[in-house]
Amino acid sequence: RLMALASLSVGLRMQGKLHQVETVCLEALDEVNRQLGAGDWPLPTLAMIYHRLGNLRLEWYDLTGAEQALTRALRIAENSSYLSVVVNAYGGLSALCSSQGDYVQAIELIEKAMQSIYGRESTVYLDLCQSLRAEYWVRAGNLAAARRWVEERNLSAERAVDYTGRSELAALARLRLAEGRTDEAEVIAGRLVAFSEASGQIGISIYSLVLEALARRSAGHLDLAAQSLERALVLGAPEGYLRAFLDEGDALVDLLRRLVRRKSKGSAYARLLLSRQVSAGRPKQPPDSPLPFPMRLIEPLTDRERAVLRLLAAGKSNPEIARSLVVSVGTVKAHVYHITAKLGARSRTEAVVRAREAGLLP
């Protein structure tokens, strides 16, 4: 059952369904606690669940929650001979350090993952770790090391986009951006976008579109860059993707402001990201903590949004709200999206809580 739930969480994450991933992971942990009691049981599948949960918390920029879950995943994994859980746990913790701007520690952790692979027949994991290390090198400004890796891999923009190729090409695009070779970076990012969209991997699509936006921005194609970023925002907003955008720091600020001025589909979420963006892409506070009152309501709710909010607070489902207001379910979903974005919430439940804090509900 644990393996089935762990596998299900992977499939849901690939589809970008973050809230469902959380539900599955918590269900799995409840099952363990019910049958075995609380504890770090030496089960590889339990380490997988904590890894999935940690990565989810990281995407939502709950850095404390991410660290707790990923550290627990590593503690359990180290008592297991299951290679993938050890590598994934180290990889998750290295990603956390990267989001915190500690690239030295991120590289050290990914190299520990690589050490656990040496001597085993698993070149796939090693290739993935090396591509992550190359990306951290670029972010840390060590372009020389990244170039050596590209030369050793004989890597080019024509590399096939497959399981390991996607990660390698993303690192190559980052390097080309840092080198000012924006045309090549844009081509690579475009290939990654096409691959992820064709395979239905929403999460990867979001990250690829952000990379494409950065490449187009660097090339001076601001309108095209804004289009790529808007597509990423529209995909990421319903599930509360944050790390994909906040990790880029100031590089996206001008594009986000451009989208806000345009009052486009992604405007509300662009405002939310700007409210949490600071220098070097670090949030002003954990995203699950209440924002200061003046920032809570990013944009006033419309009368119809207030009506939907009241029904949400009453526990009504989308179909029930649609029947009550005599609108389509799709219209209700759109209202819920705007409500959560304006309140800086990740879910319907959090939106209701924040609405009460802001005095919008009794």
Convert the pLDDT of each residue in 195-221 to its tens digit. 999 988 999 999 999 999 999 999 899
Q: Which of 121, 108, 114, 116 is nearest to 77 (CA)?
A: 116
- The b-or-e profile of 59-70 (16+ CB within 10 A means b, else e) is bbbbbebbbebb
Q: Which two tokens stand for residue 81?
A: 């001979």
- The segment with the largest mean pLDDT, out of 41-45, 160-164, 241-245, is 241-245
Q: Which of 227, 317, 296 is nearest to 264 (CA)?
A: 227
Report H helices in 253-302: 253-262, 267-276, 293-296
pLDDT-based confidence at residue 119 (cuts at 50, 70, 90) = low
Residue 276: predicted pLDDT = 80
Residue 290: predicted pLDDT = 34
In this predicted model, which residue has the larger pLDDT, 32 or 4? 4
Residue 145: predicted pLDDT = 92
Report H helices in 15-62: 18-36, 44-59
- 256 vs 261: CA distance, rounded Å: 9
